[in-house]
């Protein structure tokens, strides 16, 4: 490899956080076109992780490095959410031993599909991706930065993660698990909760969240103005033959109500 090409890749590596993925569009913006990218692969500077995605040769990259590329290079709203976000932020003590994380949960906007290089790559952990559109055009509301070594990724704040948990009930998350986790969220910020509730488009999510928050008598509930929250009309049922809560017009499992 000539000196010019060697100098170029060295400059690129200085901008490229270790442990992360680089996509071809970003490399092209640095002056690396297909033929040169192939040269760097053959020269053992880069390794392909899928079509249009690369890692440093010999670098160990986990799902966070892929998520970094989605967020920073592709400008997607995909983020670590739900229970994954709580665990990343040290809230794992809210999850009992038999409820430990067995997969990584990512949330993204409605119809926001993952690129093939990410969805087909073996990240050595199960990835579950939810395209919810739960907050409509407010895709980035309630996200926060999380350090992943040499770079940062966006994850749901505990407030948004709690609502994402309720969104998953009862299809991917059992009610008792969500109940247990919400019970431990005693320090949520009411101002952010207020904003999230007002912008949330899922009636069921809002009803489940408030039902559980009030069930556990969290003090931050008293600071919410529910008059500005649209809880929709009609009943919502999480199960058959459950307990009907008149306030939020929702049917929940009887065994979880202690009634």
**Coil, strand or helix: which one is 59?**
coil
| Separation CA 162–CA 183 (nearest Å) | 10
> Do 241 and 188 reside in the same domain of the chain?
yes
Could you tell me if 119 and 51 lie in one domain?
no
Q: In this structure, are 32 and 70 located in the same domain?
A: no
Q: Estimate the crossing angle of helix 190-199 against helix 158-168, to 10 degrees.
A: 40
Which pLDDT value is given to residue 254? Answer: 83
Within this chain, do residues 149 and 81 fall inside the same structural domain, yes or no? Answer: yes
For residue 142, the model assigns a pLDDT of 98
Q: Which residue has the tokens 């093939």?
A: 116
DSSP labels, 155-192: EE-HHHHHHHHHHHTTTTS-HHHHHHHHHT-TT--HHH
Q: Residue 28: give the domain boundaries.
A: 3-56
**By the 8 A CB rule, do 256 and 176 touch?**
yes
The domain tally of the chain equals 2
Q: Is the Cβ–Cβ distance between 160 and 143 less than 8 Å?
A: yes
Q: At what angle do helices 203-215 and 175-183 cross, to 10 degrees?
A: 50
Two structure tokens written together for 58: 């010999």
Q: Domain check: are 98 and 179 in the same one?
A: yes
Reported pTM: 0.91
The pLDDT score that the predictor gives to residue 55 is 97
What pLDDT, on the 0 to 100 scale, is given for residue 174? 87
| pLDDT recorded at residue 256 | 44
Which of 31, 56, 81 is the last residue before a domain boundary? 56
| Co-location of 68 and 134 in the same domain | yes
- Say if residue 49 is in the same domain as residue 168: no
- What six digits make up the tokens of 78? 């995909």
Same domain, 96 and 202: yes
Residues 31 and 151 in one domain: no
Decide: helix, strand or coil at residue 127.
strand
Instruction: State phi, psi for 208 to the nearest 5 degrees.
Output: -65, -45
Q: Where a domain ends, among 18, 41, 56?
A: 56
Divide the 259 residues of the chain into consecutive groups of 10 and give the mean pLDDT of each group.
75 95 96 94 95 96 98 98 94 55 88 97 96 94 97 98 94 87 95 98 97 97 97 92 93 65
Under a CB-based contact definition with an 8 Å cutoff, are residues 167 and 186 in contact?
no
Q: What does the radius of gyration of the chain's CA atoms come to, in whole angstroms?
A: 22
């Amino acid at each position: 490899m000539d000196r010019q090409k060697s100098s170029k890749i060295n400059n690129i590596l200085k901008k490229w956080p270790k442990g992360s993925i680089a996509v071809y569009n970003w490399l092209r913006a640095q002056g690396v076109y297909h033929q040169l990218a192939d040269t760097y692969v053959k020269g053992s500077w880069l390794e392909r992780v899928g079509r249009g995605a690369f890692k440093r040769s010999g670098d160990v990259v986990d799902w966070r490095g892929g998520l970094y590329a989605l967020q920073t290079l592709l400008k997607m709203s995909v983020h670590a959410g739900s229970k994954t976000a709580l665990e990343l932020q040290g809230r794992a003590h809210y999850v009992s031993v038999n409820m430990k994380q067995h997969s990584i949960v990512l949330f993204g906007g409605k119809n926001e599909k993952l690129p093939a290089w990410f969805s087909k790559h073996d990240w050595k952990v199960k990835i579950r991706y939810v395209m919810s559109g739960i907050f409509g055009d407010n895709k980035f509301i309630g996200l926060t930065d999380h350090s992943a070594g040499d770079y940062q990724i966006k994850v749901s704040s505990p407030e948004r993660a709690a609502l994402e948990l309720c969104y998953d009930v009862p299809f991917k998350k059992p009610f008792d698990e969500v109940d247990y986790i919400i019970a431990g969220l005693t320090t949520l910020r009411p101002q952010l909760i207020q904003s999230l509730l007002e912008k949330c488009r899922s009636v069921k999510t809002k009803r489940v969240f408030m039902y559980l928050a009030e069930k556990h008598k969290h003090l931050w509930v008293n600071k919410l103005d529910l008059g500005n929250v649209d809880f929709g009309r009609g009943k919502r049922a999480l199960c058959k033959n459950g307990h009907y809560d008149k306030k939020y017009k929702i049917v929940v499992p009887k065994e979880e109500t202690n009634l």
